[in-house]
């Protein structure tokens, strides 16, 4: 029943939970008929009220309590009520695997990795191969970046349940953290194949593709992940990275703005916005953004380079030379130091060229003489 509530559409979830509530009052034909009508009409609130009505008569009715907890868990805004119901169930029976799994799922939905991991551990203590324990334990380890725990649980899950995607997704995360991008791509692709499009697997494969210099493929995977899970705003930033690397500055700017709406202080999103603005030729806003970032992180490599590039784009060669020199001094061991020195050299060359050019009238006369339009005056 819980699986139906977790994975199926809302109406099917209501129907599944309603069946549980019906079991609580098998002798009440009117209640059963009412619950059936409610299930068919997907009146979730009414089903919850019926469960509460049963609990008033029988406070310890486990089926009604579990049903109400599940209904609240799948309803936005009622999560705290669900957690209270699950807590009562688990307090009365610490071996209630359905309640532990239901609460772990809710913690997953709420992004509370530590509590999810604790419930997963409780499930695994009861049964080391419990599928929900492995599922939520793997997810908790991924979110907390506990690679040792993740490798153990994901590996066990992939071997024990080869038809489930989460073990392969977890192992893909391990490979990605280890820098094995080919392995991460292979394992996440397997998870996608099994699941039919798991968002986290798409995200991991996108990160691996981006790291291997395939930004177009990466942005496609990130887009698929967002299509499957529109609330995964954490995918906007890596997609912005991919668009920026592919030269799609407009889309990079759009995603960076989206990421900043969710988390205004995200430094990398601000960097991408600045770089995308420069890529679109908007040097003024790009320089203003870079100045704000450098006020926070004075040695920011990307922004120091951006300032020199922006000055070059504006043909302000003297300022570009100064910016390039300053950046090279602040980043003596940077991998981009040679690029900065080259930019400084080019800026100096252009500056010298500009200073030695003839006055405009002289240049015009010389050009006309070269083309034969004017005889020289000497």
| Residue 293 resides in a domain | no
Task: Examine residue 195 and state whether it is found in any structural domain, yes or no.
Answer: no
Q: 351 pLDDT band (50/70/90 cuts)?
A: low
pLDDT, the chain, mean: 81
Residue 261 included in any domain = no
Whether the CB-CB separation of 273 and 306 falls below 8 Å is answered with no
Q: What are 31-89's pLDDT values in tens digits?
A: 444 444 444 445 556 666 767 777 787 777 787 888 888 888 877 788 999 999 999 99
- Residue 11 placed within a domain: yes
Whole-number percent of the chain with pLDDT over 70: 74
Nearest partner of 173 among 156, 155, 159, judged by Cα: 155
Q: Is the pLDDT at 107 greater than 50, yes or no?
A: yes
Cβ pair 157, 134 in contact under 8 A: yes
Mean pLDDT of 208-227: 97
pLDDT score recorded for residue 29: 46
Q: So what's the pLDDT on residue 66?
A: 84
Q: Which of 59-73, 246-260, 350-364 reaches the highest mean pLDDT?
A: 246-260
> Is 20 inside any structural domain?
yes
Q: Which of 8-22, 37-51, 167-181, 337-351 has the lowest mean pLDDT?
A: 8-22
Number of domains in the chain: 1
Distances in whole angstroms, Cα of residue 337 to Cα of each of 302, 324, 346: 11, 9, 14
Taking the C-alpha atoms of residue 221 and residue 53, their distance in angstroms, rounded to an integer, is: 47
Six-digit token pair at 49? 């009220």
218 is a domain residue:
no
**CA-wise closest residue to 185 among 204, 199, 198:** 204
* DSSP line for 277-321: HHHTT-HHHHHHHHHHHHHH-TT-HHHHHHHHHHHHHTT-HHHHH
pLDDT, tens digit, 9 for 90 and up, residues 169-213: 999 999 999 999 999 999 999 999 999 889 999 999 999 999 999
**Whether residue 133 has pLDDT greater than 80:** yes
Q: What is the pLDDT of residues 299-328, one digit of tens each?
A: 888 888 888 888 878 777 777 777 777 777
- Which position has the higher pLDDT, 74 or 130? 130
- State the greatest distance between any 2 C-alpha atoms of the chain, in Å, as a whole number: 119
Instruction: Please indicate, yes or no, if residue 177 is contained in any of the structural domains.
Output: no
pLDDT band (50, 70, 90) for residue 259: very high
Token pair 């309603």 is at which residue?
Answer: 18
pLDDT range class, residue 17, cuts 50, 70, 90 = low
- Alpha helices in 58-180, H assignment, sequence order: 62-73, 79-92, 97-110, 113-126, 131-144, 147-160, 166-177
Domain limits at 68? Answer: 1-93
Q: Is residue 86 in a domain?
A: yes
**Cα–Cα distance between 368 and 366 in angstroms, integer?**
5
The stretch 20-32 carries a mean pLDDT of 45
Report the pLDDT value the prediction gives residue 296, as an integer from 0 to 100: 92
Confidence grade of residue 353 (pLDDT, cut at 50, 70, 90): low
Say how far apart CA 118 and CA 139 lie, in whole Å. Answer: 12
């Amino acid at each position: 029943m819980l699986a139906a509530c977790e994975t199926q559409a809302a109406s099917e979830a209501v129907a599944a939970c309603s069946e549980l509530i019906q079991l609580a009052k098998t002798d009440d034909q009117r209640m059963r008929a009412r619950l059936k009508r409610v299930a068919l009409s997907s009146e979730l609130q009414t089903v919850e009220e019926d469960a509460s009505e049963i609990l008033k008569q029988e406070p310890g009715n486990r089926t009604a309590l579990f049903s109400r907890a599940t209904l609240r868990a799948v309803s936005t805004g009622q999560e705290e009520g669900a957690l209270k119901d699950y807590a009562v169930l688990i307090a009365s029976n610490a071996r209630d695997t359905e309640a532990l799994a239901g609460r772990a799922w809710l913690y997953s939905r709420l992004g509370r990795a530590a509590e999810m991991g604790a419930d997963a551990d409780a499930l695994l203590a009861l049964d080391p191969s419990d599928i929900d324990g492995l599922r939520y334990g793997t997810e908790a380890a991924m979110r907390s970046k506990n690679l040792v725990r993740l490798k153990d649980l994901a590996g066990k899950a992939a071997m024990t349940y080869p038809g489930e995607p989460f073990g392969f997704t977890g192992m893909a995360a391990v490979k990605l953290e280890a820098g094995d991008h080919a392995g991460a791509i292979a394992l996440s692709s397997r998870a996608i194949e099994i699941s039919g499009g798991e968002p986290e697997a798409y995200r991991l494969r996108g990160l691996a593709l981006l790291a291997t210099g395939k930004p177009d493929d990466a942005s496609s995977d990130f887009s698929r992940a967002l299509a499957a899970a529109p609330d995964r705003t954490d995918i906007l930033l890596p997609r912005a990275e991919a668009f920026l690397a592919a030269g799609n500055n407009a889309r990079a700017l759009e995603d960076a703005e989206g990421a900043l709406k969710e988390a205004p202080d995200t430094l990398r999103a601000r960097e991408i916005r600045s770089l995308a603005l420069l890529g679109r030729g908007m040097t003024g806003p790009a320089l203003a953004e870079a100045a704000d970032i450098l006020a926070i992180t004075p040695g920011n490599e990307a922004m120091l380079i951006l300032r020199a590039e922006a000055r070059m784009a504006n043909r302000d060669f003297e300022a570009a030379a100064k910016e390039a020199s300053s950046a090279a001094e602040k980043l003596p061991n940077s991998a981009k130091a040679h690029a900065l020195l080259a930019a400084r050299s080019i800026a100096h060359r252009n500056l010298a060229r500009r200073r030695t050019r003839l006055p405009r009238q002289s240049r015009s006369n010389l050009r006309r003489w070269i083309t034969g339009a004017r005889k020289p005056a000497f």
